[in-house]
Amino acid sequence: MAKKLWLKDNSIIRYLITNSKAMLGLYIVFATILISCTIAVSVGSDNKSILTEDMYPLTMCGTYSTDGGHSFKAFKSFDDIDCRKLDSLIIRGNFNQDIKKNHKVYLFIDNINVKISQNNQVIYENDPEVPFCWDCFSSLGIGMNDEIEIELNTRESIVYNRSFKLLLNRMSDTTKSAVLCTMILRNLPGLICCVIILLMSIAMIMYAFENHKYNVVPVHGIMAGGFALLMGAGTSVARADYVTLIMSDIRMLCFLDVLTQDLVILFTMIYLQRYLSSDRSKIICRLTALVGGALISVFVIGYACDLFGIATHKCVMFPGVFLICINVYMLVHDCVDNQSKVFKTVLYASVFLLLCTIFEMLFYLLTGTYCVKVLTVGMLLFAVSQYMTIILENGNSRKEAMRAKELEQELTESRISIMRSQIKPHFLYNALGTIRALCTKNPEEARNAMDFFAKYLRANMESLDRKETIPFTKELEHVKSYLYIEKLRFGDLLNIEYDIQATDFELPCMTVQTLTENAVKHGLLAKAEGGTLKISSVEKNSCYEVQIEDDGVGFDSTTKLDDSRTHVGIENSRKRLAGLCDGTLSIGSKIGVGTTITITIPKKRENVNGD
């Protein structure tokens, strides 16, 4: 069975993607492993001090108070203090080591207020307007016997406090470069996930642009999915511990963090619409996307104008999660009528990402901080599943589009062949009719005309059977041969002028000849005194132009032609010009003045560039 799956179109991947039960099981297994590992790594690393060659974690022993300084308890290390349900904490004691003068003490602040005193003198107090960042202060020379007091307060009431423990465990006598290297190494798994998500998002966006050439619909859905992943990678990076060490403008960083996570919600809603089948679901989801976009616009404008702060992003994020729930509900609703395996795979991936988003929001409500790793894992699984699904889905659509394009081209060639088979007899009948008329009037001239006509047929029969275009010089030979015989027939009633300035181009065979025949028959010969026919060609910057002018009876170009054969001949010429060389045909005519037909042949791309 396995061998059979591998041999048939790489069916292992196809089977996993299109089999909803297999994909659901795969989600559960991978999600359990990845989330368990990331939470374990996160909890383990947060409860241990950072320790490298260039970093010296600071610990204390002394007393601490959880009731505002009314009572104190003894502790030997920070691990003895349970900070999980505290809103305030006062620690008094001594550092475990001396801190030399001008050395930097680095602290990680995450939505808390911090004040540090040395011998009852305040030596550090953080900016209450900055939500999270790495901060530092210069030591005035702190000895192991100096009395140190650390006062911590949360900025809002929370159920589970992680921020106090993060600050105490990460407080170090170190340098900025050492902190940066350590945090990058500590966040390396998450950083690798972000890079993978980023690459997949770029690949999906490029894939959408590529498929746009084949009119694969809906391309905008693929594009929205790519941008959702791009914003997901951005928000994961923006929340990382080490970014505040690189980007000094914390206010802008917070703004980008909030904006990217809101855009993740918006682009995800737009992306999910491509899988909805009922019109009602599509309308509702479009309305939710419009509401989400309006909320984001209000937030961006308000924040840019200093109308409100970062904390108001909850007014956008939580409604955004609710709007995603509406989209997922619509997917589940459509799932009853849509039994597509790909559709169910999208449903599982969307629900999983939604659960990760809800977990992120609940985690923020309980702790006041974000658990970036869970959202990153959700985005990674969503990215992998959607990327594979889209490749399979749009690969099939692309093949169908290419096949449809081939069939359309074959149909066009078939129509052109029919047109050419209809057009070929025109010159033959007219030439033989002229020669026949000369046989009684001037047998010698008729013999010469017959010889000329025979040479013409022998030299050009091969070009008439070609489906491609022919050189203009060949087409001009057709025209001159036809007009030679017509001139013999009508004498002074038909005057001919040539102004040929360009010949280095090609066009469909019988094009100019058919239009010339129409000009002679329906324009000049319909006039009692006859007239003059002028054929000219000229080269322009981006095209070649051929003009067929006559001073015959003319017609009203705004009305439909009465002669069906004339109309068919002109339309056939126009279609063949468009189908074989992207050319155009325009007609200008005035009753009693004459008609001008202009053929425009675009230059080849390399010729244009060469000019």
* DSSP state for residue 134 in the 8-state scheme: E
Q: What percent of the chain has pLDDT over 70?
A: 71
Give residues with Cβ within 8 angstroms of 46, minimum separation 6: 162, 165, 166, 169
pLDDT of residue 111: 83
Is the pLDDT at 47 greater than 60? The verdict is no
Is the pLDDT at 534 greater than 80? The verdict is yes
pLDDT in tens, 165-194: 889 988 998 888 888 888 888 878 778 888
CA atoms within 13 A on the CB side of 304: 8
Q: Report which of 378, 428, 121, 109 is spatially closest to residue 254, judged by C-alpha positions.
A: 109
Q: Are strands 494-500 and 531-539 parallel, antiparallel or unpaired?
A: parallel
Q: Which residue has the tokens 């069906």?
A: 564
CA atoms within 13 A on the CB side of 445: 16
Highest mean pLDDT among 180-194, 299-313, 517-531: 517-531
Q: For residue 602, give the H/E element and its range.
A: strand 594-602
Q: Report which of 233, 146, 234 is spatially closest to residue 196, judged by C-alpha positions.
A: 233
At 62, is the pLDDT very low, low, confident or very high (cuts 50, 70, 90)? very high
On whether the CB atoms of residues 348 and 27 are closer than 8 A, the answer is: yes
Q: What is the mean pLDDT of the chain?
A: 75
- At 89, give phi and psi (nearest 5°): -155, 135
Q: Among 133-142, 347-356, 512-521, which stretch is predicted with the lowest mean pLDDT?
A: 347-356
Taking the whole predicted model, whether its pTM rises above 0.85 is answered as: no
pLDDT of residue 608: 41
On whether the CB atoms of residues 342 and 15 are closer than 8 A, the answer is: no
Q: State the Rg of the chain over Cα.
A: 40
Is the pLDDT at 359 greater than 90? The verdict is no
Q: Which residue has the tokens 């610990």?
A: 59
- Residue bearing the bigger pLDDT, 218 or 486: 486
**What six digits make up the tokens of 93?**
């004691």
Is the pLDDT at 19 greater than 60? The verdict is no
- Average pLDDT on 28-53 reads 48
Q: Report which of 59, 64, 39, 62 is spatially closest to residue 49, judged by C-alpha positions.
A: 59
pLDDT in tens, 108-129: 888 889 999 999 899 999 988 7
pLDDT of residue 500: 93
Is the pLDDT at 482 greater than 50? The verdict is yes
Highest mean pLDDT among 192-196, 293-297, 341-345: 192-196
On whether the CB atoms of residues 9 and 128 are closer than 8 A, the answer is: no
pLDDT of residue 252: 76
Q: Which residue has the tokens 């300084």?
A: 69
- Number of Cβ atoms within 10 Å of the Cβ of 320: 26
Give residues with Cβ within 8 angstroms of 364, minimum separation 6: 370
Quick one: angle between helices 250-272 and 341-367, nearest 10? 150
Q: Report which of 450, 549, 456, 530 is spatially closest to residue 491, judged by C-alpha positions.
A: 530
At 499, is the pLDDT very low, low, confident or very high (cuts 50, 70, 90)? very high
Q: Which residues pair with 343 in a beta bridge?
A: none
- Residue bearing the bigger pLDDT, 213 or 583: 583
* Cβ-based burial of 601 (10 A; exposed 0-12, middle 13-18, buried ≥19): buried
Is the pLDDT at 512 greater than 80? The verdict is yes
**What six digits make up the tokens of 104?**
């930097």
